[in-house]
Amino acid sequence: MNKYYQISFYFNGGVRASYHQQYDSVELAQQAINAAFTKKELLQIDGSVINTGKALGYAVIPANTVTPDQTVIWDML
């Protein structure tokens, strides 16, 4: 069953880019995001671009939602 996961990438200066995406399990989500992070891909999501090559790290956590926002949220920690 597909569940939503919150994907976050962390950058210098405490900047975080987060979005929601569906995966069958947390393991599959981790594998997909790790592959994008390792390959330093440019992720294009709803008009935003996340350069994973400049990210310092990432996190994949289960989202407590059934209808998440379809945008990338940029914020500072």
The pLDDT value given to residue 1: 61
**Which whole-number Å values give the CA distances from 18 to 1, 15, 27, 52, in the listed order?**
22, 10, 18, 12
Using pLDDT thresholds of 50, 70 and 90, give the confidence band for residue 18.
very high
SS3 sequence of the chain: CCEEEEEEEEEHHHEEEEEEEEECCHHHHHHHHHHHHHCCCEEEECCEEEECCCCCEEEEEECCCCCCCCCCEEEEC
Amino acid identity, position 52:
T
Interval 10-25 mean pLDDT? 95
pLDDT in tens, 23-70: 999 999 999 999 999 999 999 988 899 999 999 999 999 998 777 877
